[in-house]
Structure 1
Amino acid sequence: MKISQNSISPGISNRYLALDVLRGLTIAFMIVVNTAGDWSNLFAPLAHAKWHGFTPTDLVFPTFLFVVGNAMSFSMKKLQQMDTAGFFKKVGKKTLLIFLIGWLLNAFPFYDVSDTGALSFIDITEVRLFGVLQRIALCYFFGAVVLYYGGIKGAWIFSGIALFGYWAIMYFFGDTADPYGLTGNAAIKLDLALIGPERMYGGEGIPFDPEGILSTLPGVVNVIAGFLAGKMIQKLGNTMETVKKLLAIGLILIIIAYIWDQFFPINKKIWTSSYVLLTVGIDLLLLALLVAVIEVKNWRGWTYFFEVFGRNPLILYVLSGMVVTILYMIPIGDTTLRAFIYANFFTSWLAPKMASFLFAFSYMLLIWVIGLWMDKKRIYIKV
C-alpha cells in the first residue's frame, strides 16, 4: 500500500475527468446502497433485485469493476513493458493486498460479544472468504493477465469465451429443472464444494455467495470492458464522435442483453452473461453523458464532489464499512450509537423509507467529508 502526499492528485488526468467522476459517483452510490438506515424500508431502486431482474442498485458493483478497467487503460502500457516476473510481482502484490483487505473487513472488529457481555475473538478461518473487494482483486488480476498476454485482441476473444462458456457451465451443470435458480445453480455447487458453507455469505437464507468463485469469470469481462472504453476515449479524444460511439455501442449491448435475458436471465447474484452486457451497456451510456458534459461542453463546476471520492476510492470504501461498524459497537444506554442516531435524528420525524434513505445519504456525506480532508491535505492512498 502506498500513501502519498502530493501537490497533484494521483487520479486520472484532468484530460479525462469524466472517468474520474464516474469512479467517484460509483463510490458515492455504493456507500448509499450499503448503509441503509433500515433494510426493511427501502425505496425500490435502492434494493437489489430479489433474484432475476435488475434495479439501479444492481449497477453499482459492475460499474466499480468497469472503472477499475478504466484505470488499467492508463497503467497497462507500463505493465506490458515489464518482464513476466516483474509483472506478476506487481499485479500479484496488488491483488493479494486488496483481497486481504476485503477479507479482514469481513472479520472487523475481530471479536464477538455474547448475551452476557463477554468478549471473544472470532476464528479468522471461519470468516466469509469472498466479498466485494475480493472480487475486485480477482477480476483485476485475471483482467491484467489477459491483457498482458493477449492484448486487445486477446481481450475480445477471452470475453466471448468467458460469457458463452459461463452460460454453458451454468446450464449444463445446474439442476435440470431450474439451472439458474438459487439452490441448484452451478456456482453455488462449486462454492459449497471448494469454500464450504461456513465461509459463504448467508444473506439469502442459505449459504450462497454472490461473489463466489465461478461467477467471478464473467466479472472479469466488466473490467476488460472498462479497459477497452478507456482506450477508445484515449484514441478518439474528447469529441462528439467519441460520445456517439459510446452511445451506439452501449445501446447495442443493452438490446443484446435483453434478448439474451430470454434464455439466460439478467441476474446480479449469479452475475449472468446477459447481466454483464446490460451493465457494460449502461456504463457506456453514463460515460458518454459524462464525456459530453464534462469534456466536450466543459461544464465542470459540479464535478469536485465526485472527484473527492474518485481520488481515494479504496480507502473511502473501506472506511465506509469500518465507521458504521464502529457506530454499532459504541453503547448508548441500552442501545448503540448507530441506533441512537437513527432513532433520534431520522425516524423521529420522517417516514420509514425516507428515514432509511436519508440516513444512508447522510452517512455518505460523512465519508465524503473524510475524503475532502484527505484531498485538502493531499493524502492519497493507493494499493
Structure 2
Amino acid sequence: MKSEFPILHQDINGHPLVYLDNAATTQKPRSVIEAVKKYYEWDNANVHRGVHTLGSRATDAYEGAREKVARFINAPASRQVIFTRGTTTALNIVASGYARQTLREGDEIVITPMEHHSNLIPWQQAAKATGATLKYIPLQPDGTISLEDVEETVTERTKIVSITYVSNVLGTINPIAKIAEIAHRKGAIIVVDGAQSTPHIKVDVQALDVDFYSLSGHKMCAPTGIGALYGKAQLLERMEPVEFGGEMIDFVELQDSTWKELPWKFEGGTPIIAGAVGLGAAIDFLEQIGLHNIDQHEKKLTRYAMERLSNIDGLTIYGPREERAGLVTFNLGDVHPHDVATVLDTEGIAVRAGHHCCQPLMRWLKVSATARASFYLYNTEQDVDRLAEALVKTKEFFGYEPIR
C-alpha cells in the first residue's frame, strides 16, 4: 500500500518517514490526488447552475460523489447525505438545526466523557440555549461503557443521545446498535460521531439504526475540508437550515423565502466541489481494498503494537486491552508527551501529543496530555518496531536505564 502514497516516500531528519498520526488525518493515495488534479484541470466549474458542459460535468462529479457516500454507509437514499466541511460541521448542524429547535427546559442530552470536543461543545451550547440538561454516561475503569449504565443514564426525559463510535484517545469501540435500541425505546434519537470509525470498519447506518451519522473525508484518504452528515429523512425534513444564501433556496421574496428539498437546503453557497470529487475517489480506493481487509490488518497491527509497547518499562497504555481500534495512546514515565513526540520526530516517526481535543477525558485519566500512535492501511509491523525502538532511545535520552 505504501507505494500508492507519494508522501510516505521521504526522509524526515535523515530517517525514512513512519507516519503514525492517522487519527488526526490520513495521507492521500495517488488516485485521490489525480482525481482532484483532473477536476481542476478539466472540469472546474460551479455546480447546479450552468447549462454549459463544464458545469454539467462538475455537477455530475459532485452528485456522483454523494451517491458513493450513500452507498459506502448504506444510506437509504443519496438525498439523506449532506456534504459538510467535516464531522465538526455535521455535528454542529444537528445541534443547531435539530436540537435547538426541539429541546425544551428539563429535556436531557446524554453523551460520554470520552467525546471529542466536536461532540461535546455543541451540546453544551444547545443545553445552555434551551434549558436542557447535559448528562454523561460514566466510563468503566478500562475506558469502555456498560449497557447497564446506558440504561440508567438515558431516561424518559432524554431527547438526544450523542456518542462517538470509536474513541480517538482510548480506541474504545462503542456498541452503537445496542445504544441506539435503548435510546429509541426511551423516546430519544441517537447521533453518532463517525470520524474515527468510517475509515476503518464497515458502517451500515440502517443496520445500526442511527438517526444522524457524521464523517470526515480527510481521515479516510480524502482531502481536507470535506465531510458528510447522514440523517433520517423525516428528521432532516423537519429541520431548518443553519446557513442561508445562494443555492439552498427555492423562492425568495422581499420579506420571506422558501428552501430547496433535501439535500440542497443544507448546502448554501458554492460547495466544496473538489473535496467531494476527492472523497468519491477515496471511497473507490477504500472499496477496492475492502473495509474488512483494512479492519483485519489494523487489528493485527494493534495487537502487535500492544505487545511490543507493553514490554517497555515505565510506559502506560490507556484504554481497553482487547477489543479496540487501531491506535495506542500512552505516556512514557514522567516525560511530557510533547517531549516524547519531539524525540520520535528526530527518528522520523510522526505521532500526536497533547489532549487530543478531549480535555474532560484527560482529567478522567488524571493526566494533562498523552502521546498517540494511530495506524492505517499503509502501516506495517516494521513501523511498530521503529516506534518501539525509538521509545527505548527516548527513555535513554531522558535518563532512563535501557531495557535489557
> Is TM (by shorter chain) over 0.5?
no
Using the size of structure 1 for normalisation, the TM-score is 0.27
Higher share of residues assigned helix? 1
Using the size of structure 2 for normalisation, the TM-score is 0.26
Higher share of residues assigned strand? 2
